[in-house]
Amino acid sequence: MSNDRWNAVDTYFNEQLAPADEALSAAVAASDAAGLPQIAVAANQGKLLHLLALAQGARKILEIGTLGGYSTIWLARALPADGQLISLEYDPAHADVARANVARAGLDKTVEVRVGAALDTLAQLEAEDAGPFDFFFIDADKVNNPNYVEWAVELSRPGSLIVVDNVVRDGTVADATSEDPSVLATRRMIELVGEHPRLSATAVQTVGLRGYDGFLLARVQD
Ligand code: SAH
Ligand code: DHB
Ligand code: MG
């Protein structure tokens, strides 16, 4: 099946089910204008994150990997007025774009973007006793995915949900002989999750505007 077909279906679903509004369109435009890579989740994927966080009744969300704040806006819109989303971003230029996009969406009271290597800012969150978070979206450097999942469990409560983006990457995740550090780390993450006594999980392949990829969904057990 062709990518043209996948894209046509995503475009149709997005028009019907996840139409852009002013804040989302402005976030994409400002991210492109600032030269950020075009690797934010697609609209229907953002809507999926939004619906998962809503269904979870999330009040506190932790995102790892902000970019221009596109997924951040979808997630923060699932929060109640007194909810909180902390998003961790390494690149200060990305964080600046994200903060402006989040403010334009009227979410600056809800969202805090923290700059630094996530392994450092996660340790800070732990030191501050910032958890537990109800929902996690892991979407940063793939080599640290095993570490990020371990940190998510550390900062979770029974019933918390963890979503990991980009776990398929054109099917490379199934290549046991791969020497690509991102593939190796994603495979270690999948295996760690599968063996983890406190996690119940699945992973699903996706096609569409972001190519052939997939999500992992895990729940912290009671
Ligand atoms: N979640 C975003 C896309 C994130 S892209 C969306 O869907 O809209 C991945 C982001 O992770 C990039 O902005 C990159 O700068 C950031 N990143 C890479 N390594 C990181 C690290 N060690 N700590 C925190 N963020 C990191
Ligand atoms: C890349 C990162 C992402 O988070 C994504 O969704 C797509 C691509 C990347 O680093 O290439
Ligand atoms: Mg991603």
Model confidence pLDDT, tens digit, residues 122-173: 999 999 999 999 999 999 999 999 999 999 999 999 999 999 999 999 999 9
Q: How far apart are CA 95 and CA 218, in angstroms?
A: 27
CB–CB of 64/15 below 8 Å? no
Q: Which CATH homologous superfamily contains domain 3-220? A: Vaccinia Virus protein VP39 (3.40.50.150)
What Rg, from alpha-carbon coordinates, does the chain have?
A: 17
Report percent pLDDT > 70 for the chain. 99
Nearest Cα residue to atom 1 of ligand 2: 39
Assessment of whether the complete model's pTM goes beyond 0.95: yes
Find the ligand nearest to 95 CA. Answer: 1
Q: Which atom of ligand 2 is nearest to the CA of 166?
A: 6
Q: Is the CB of residue 164 below 6 angstroms from any atom belonging to ligand 1?
A: no
Question: Residue 31 C-alpha to ligand 2 middle, in angstroms?
Answer: 15
CB–CB of 88/72 below 8 Å? no
Helix (H, G, I), strand (E, B) or coil at 200: strand
Find the ligand nearest to 164 CA. Answer: 3
Q: Is the CB of residue 213 below 6 angstroms from any atom belonging to ligand 1?
A: no
Mutation choice for ligand 1 from 49, 61, 66, 102, CB with most ligand atoms inside 8 A: 66
Question: Residue 81 C-alpha to ligand 2 middle, in angstroms?
Answer: 30
* DSSP letters spanning 56-68: HT-SEEEEE--TT
Phi, psi dihedral angles at 37 (to 5 degrees):
-65, 145
Model confidence pLDDT, tens digit, residues 73-118: 999 999 999 999 999 999 999 999 999 999 999 999 999 999 999 9
CB–CB of 152/138 below 8 Å? yes
Q: Please state the domain extents for the chain.
A: 3-220
Find the ligand nearest to 143 CA. Answer: 1
Q: Does residue 121 register a pLDDT over 70?
A: yes
